[in-house]
Structure formats: C-alpha cells, structure tokens
Structure 1
Amino acid sequence: MKISVIGCGRWGSFIAWYLDRREHEVTLYGRASSSHLKRFREERTNGLITLPETVQLESDLGKALESEVIIISVNSQGLRALMQEIEPFKVRNRTFVLCMKGMEISTGKRLTEVVEEYMEDTSAVAVWLGPGHVQEFYRGIPNCMVIDSRDEKVKERLIESFSSDLIRFYYGNDLIGNEIGGATKNIIGIAAGMLDGLGLSSLKGALMSRGTREISRLIEAMGGNVLSAYGLCHLGDYEATVFSQFSHNRKFGESFVRGTEYTSLAEGYYTVEAIMKISEEHHVDLPICRAVYDVLFHGKDPKETLNSLFVRSLKEEF
C-alpha cells in the first residue's frame, strides 16, 4: 500500500517507521521549513526514531498526496488550514486517516467533520486512536489501539494492513464516541497532572472513575454509544495519559500548578475550551472538564478547585 504521513513530529515519524516495518511504501511529508524534516534529511533521526532509507522524505505536498492513504498527524487546531491547502489538489479516491485527538475550538466540530468539509465524495475518513507512546513502541512494547470509520470496507482494509504484534487494532463501531473519548482523555490527563503537582496523586483513582462517567454522558448526549468512554479511546488510554512519564498532558498539568514552564504540545489545553462550548450546547454537566477549564482560563486556584470536585454534595455514585 502506498501511504503518505503528513506531519513529521514525534507521532507522525513513528507512524512512518511503523508502517515501513509493515512493508508499505511510505512517504513522510513536512514543510520545507520544518526543523524536523531538515534533521531527518541530515541524520535520518529525531532523537527518538531513526528512519530507514526506505522511508521517503518529501516537502512537496502535491507529491505526498499521490498516495492512496493519507495519514494526518498535526496539531488539531491546524487541521482546517491543512485541508484548505489540500483542497485545490482535488484528490479523489483517497483514505484520510486522522491520528490526532482533539476538537476544533472555533466550531466545536470533531476532526472528521472538518476533513469532510474539504474532501471529495469519493474519499473516506478514518481515525486511529488509543493508548501508546512512541518511546515504548520503539522499544518493542506492544499495545492495543482502535481504528474507526463510517466506511466499513475502509476500516477493514486499514486494520488488516496495519495490524502487527506491536499494535493490535480493534474495530471501532462508534465514530462520535471514539472521537469525543479520544479528545477528552487529554483533559483528564491535565487534571491528573495537576493532582500530581499538588501532591494529591491518590485521588487519581477517583478522577478516572468519575472522569469516565462524565465523558460517557457527553458521548450519549451527542448521539454516540455510552460504552465508548469505557473503551480504548478513553478509559483504555488512561494509563498512558494519567500516569505515564511520557504523557504531555499530564506533564503540562503538573508543570502548570507548580508554576514551571512547559513548551511541548498538550492538546487537552485546546480541547477543554471546545468541550465547554459543546457541553453548553448539549446541556451536559462536566464538572472535571469545567474545573480544568476554570484553572487554565479563569485563574481559579488549582487546589481549591480540584478539591471541590471530591467534596460536592452527597449523591449516589451511579
């Protein structure tokens, strides 16, 4: 299969490395100005991943779009701008696979909805979600992930082509639930990091339990399957997001409450703003997401705000 990966950051470069191992014809695309692409061209490595010579490096978007499968791994808030760049090429019969987890702040749309605005009717879109960190995959530590799409044939083809002993893919059957679950687990990750930074790590068990229930209500309100929150897209990704030393969102939350600078991308920061808009539209109470939002965007005291989550009025657990 001829595959192009758009986005040569940490995750995109891993995907190129992984799919090359699956014996696909892989091209990794980055802008000509990309420092990541420049380093790969000079050294074939970014410090985490070393790409074999069989992975082609490309800075010409038109050439990258010649592949039948286009995997996108960019900042979620930059997806629309990328699709606007792709639209003039009028590519047909392509499969777009999104490997990011987030929501568009300006519209509150899921990322597949953004892509569908620009792709031709003959093309399809899928999502690749679930737990796992580049550092662990590259060392040969396996994990399970999920691929979902409204197009059953596309989903089946991708899973059969991408599955290996390193990543076992499951068939998703709820695109709404999987996208929302994947995006919001980053918010829970930030909350977990805040608890770590405040010395309240023992509350992370309660955070996981209540967080999953909270997101399941949102998924249900949006027309998805309530059980999706308990699958690989959300609860199944908690170990990698809530506890792992490699979790950007957890580390961002910890750094934030400690007042230290953190410069890596934490998608949950952007997602929580979009989720607040969606929760109002669907009239769903999201106390954990609201607490994270209030701390990040309204200057609320982290310890007081997070503590208040666990001393709310007495109520039934379920």
Structure 2
Amino acid sequence: MLGAGSWGTALAIQFARAGRATVLWGRNRAQVEALARERRNCRYLPNAGFPAGLTVTAALTDALDGVEDVLVVVPSHAFRQTLAAVAATGVALKGLAWATKGFELETGLLPHQVVEDVLSGDVPTGVLAGPTFAAEVAAGLPSAMTIASARADYARRLAESITTDTFRAYTSTDLIGVEVGAATKNVLAIGAGISDGLGFGANTRIALLTRGLAEMTRLGLALGARRDTFMGLAGMGDLVLTCTDDQSRNRRFGLALARGQRAEHALRDIGQVVEGYYGARSVHQVASRLNVGMPIVEQINRVLYEHVSPHDAVAALMRRPVMAELV
C-alpha cells in the first residue's frame, strides 16, 4: 500500500482485516515511525487501530518486496512520481491497482493512461473507487465500492481479497467510467458545498446533483466509458456521498468559500489535499478539448480561478437557453 494518508491507511486496514498480509508505505520517515509506534494513524484515523497483519515502512523496496499486488493511494499530482519511483526499483510487478482520483493536470490523462505511460510490461491493473469515507471503512462500518480492471479476473481477485462481513466490493471492466466518476464528483462536491453554504436550499442541491451527473456521463461517454457505470457506485453513488456529507473535504472546501474564506486559507485549514480544487481545472480543460458541455464544472472553475462570485455563477447557469433534459 503506497500512501499513508487517510484513504491509504483505511484501505490498508481493510485489506489486513480481510486476512491479507499488508505493508503500508509512507515517504515521511517520522510519520511512519509514529504509525509503527502507535499502531494507528493518529493524524488521520486516530480511532482505528491496526490489525496484526498490517506493517509499516518508509523503505519503498521493503514495501514492494515479494508482494502480490501494489496499491497506490496518493494524490493525483504525486501519482506519476510515485509510479516512476516504483519503476526505478526494478521490482517485477505482479499486479498494480490505484485509488488515486483525477486527471493529470499537465497532460489531461486519466490514471490508467499515466500507468501506461510510465510502466512497461503486461501487468494486470485496476482502480478502486466508489462511495466510501476513510473513517467509516477504518471503523468497520458497512461499505461498498467498485473495483474496475480491463481484466475481469483481476478485478474479481482484488474484490475477493478485500471483501469481509462489513465491506463488499463489486467488479467492473469499465476503467474509464470509474475513473471519470472519481475525477468529476470532487469538483461537483465543491459546488454543492458552495450552494448549501449560501443557503440556496434543497431544490438547488438536487438540481446540481442531477445535472452534475449528466455532465459526468457526457464526459465519460466522450472518453469511451459505458453509460450504465454512472448509475452505479462509482458514478451516482460517489457523487451523492461526496456532495451531501461533511466528511467530504471537497464539500467542506465549498462551504468555506461560501463563508467568504479565501481558497488558500480554506485549503490550509482543511489540512489535506482537496482534489476537486485542482480537478476543476483539469476536468474543464479535458471537456473543452473534447467539446463536451459541462456548464456546472465551467462555473465552478470560474469561481475558483477567475474570482467570479457564486451568485454570478448561478445566474449564468440559470440564464442558459432552454434545452431538452436528456441530451
């Protein structure tokens, strides 16, 4: 498990809970020493003790030595760098998966395309995504997610190895759809936070969710995804979760902006990566390149980077020409 943030730690706990010997790697040696000493991640998940089958290390070669599957759980801006570090070790990978979300900002590539760009060899790969908060997974509360791979047998093997009485994984072969859902929902969650923070009400929230799902689907179809993926856990499920619960960093960021807090101050106060802040720009760039209409994402991008007020952004959305809903 590469990445000792909240989500990487939670997934490491869950794999170990399911009976897999699991190694959690973090690049910060002092942090890793604290994890080993306390047998919990006191910064992110202080109430979740580590199962006996979970060990920690700051040495990447130790984390990769003899493992069957490598799971990368780092922010999107560190994904390529982490993959390059893995490649530099010369370790022959047997399977590689990731829970990293978002398009690469500089290239517009989805995570699986970055993997193809950095790593060589015929290695089974897959992505883990879906409506799950780290704290609830770490606490053992009933949860479900999607694991997608072009190789159905690999997705099934990963799903079987993480499933327990309180955690259920479903499989998919639609890598693109699952990744697009994971990238887009964080951006829309910022919009939901802004909307609720300004007191726009339930009507506004459900309109944003429904039309946001339509935008997510349009982008996914343009990139080769399957429509039905967006009606499942990694699409609608993750969108609703992230937009409606304050455990979502992206939603909390939107709420802070609605209170008038500057973006840099809100990011600092949250203290963890807010993927949607960076994702707004990358999703908007990809949609523009493909000529895919994503007006909500466009207005969120304008609020974040062009200093447009949320009220003006909403007005711009409401003044758009009347059109058929299902297009």
TM-score (ref. length: structure 2): 0.91
Give the letter aligned to residue 15 of structure 2. Answer: L
> What residue number does 2:50 align with?
51
Distance between the aligned counterparts of 1:157 and 1:88, measured in 2? Answer: 27
> What residue number does 2:139 align with?
139
| Structural mapping, 1:98-247, within 5 Å | 98-202=98-202, 203-247=204-248
Comparing 84-93 with 218-227, which one deviates more in the overlay?
A: 84-93
- 290, 301, 324: which one aligns with 1:316: 324
Comparing 242-251 with 39-48, which one deviates more in the overlay?
A: 39-48
Distance between the aligned counterparts of 2:57 and 2:140, measured in 1? Answer: 27
2:48 is paired with a residue of what secondary structure? Answer: coil
1:16 and 2:12 are equivalent in the alignment: yes
Distance between the aligned counterparts of 1:20 and 1:125, measured in 2? Answer: 20
Paired residues of 1:92 and 1:122 also in contact (CA < 8 A): no
Shift of 1:118: 2.4
Give the letter aligned to residue 13 of structure 2. Answer: W
Shift of 1:74: 0.7
Shift of 1:53: 4.1
- 29, 39, 44: which one aligns with 2:25: 29
Give the letter aligned to residue 24 of structure 2. Answer: L
Residues 31-69 of structure 1 deviation map (CA, whole Å, 9 limit, x = unaligned): 14453x232123122214221343111111011112111
Shift of 1:181: 1.1
Shift of 1:172: 1.1
Comparing 97-106 with 137-146, which one deviates more in the overlay?
A: 137-146
Paired residues of 1:187 and 1:249 also in contact (CA < 8 A): yes
2:156 is paired with a residue of what secondary structure? Answer: helix
> What residue number does 1:254 align with?
255
| Structural mapping, 1:256-275, within 5 Å | 256-260=257-261, 261-262=265-266, 263=268, 264-275=272-283
2:24 is paired with a residue of what secondary structure? Answer: strand
> What residue number does 2:292 align with?
284
RMSD over equivalenced CA pairs, Å: 1.6
TM-score (ref. length: structure 1): 0.93
- CA change 1:226–1:54 in 2 (3 A) is closer
Comparing 297-306 with 50-59, which one deviates more in the overlay?
A: 50-59
Distance between the aligned counterparts of 1:195 and 1:311, measured in 2? Answer: 17
- CA change 1:130–1:34 in 2 (3 A) is farther
Give the letter aligned to residue 6 of structure 1. Answer: L
Give the letter aligned to residue 280 of structure 2. Answer: V
Give the letter aligned to residue 63 of structure 2. Answer: A
Give the letter aligned to residue 169 of structure 2. Answer: F
1:290 is paired with a residue of what secondary structure? Answer: helix
Paired residues of 1:108 and 1:278 also in contact (CA < 8 A): yes
Give the letter aligned to residue 54 of structure 1. Answer: G
1:6 and 2:2 are equivalent in the alignment: yes
Shift of 1:256: 1.7
Distance between the aligned counterparts of 2:139 and 2:60, measured in 1? Answer: 31
1:165 is paired with a residue of what secondary structure? Answer: coil
1:57 is paired with a residue of what secondary structure? Answer: strand
Aligned length: 313
1:38 and 2:33 are equivalent in the alignment: yes
Percent identity over the alignment?
30
Displaced runs of 4 or more, over 4 A: none
Structure 2 stretches of 5 or more lacking a match? Answer: none
Distance between the aligned counterparts of 2:54 and 2:179, measured in 1? Answer: 29
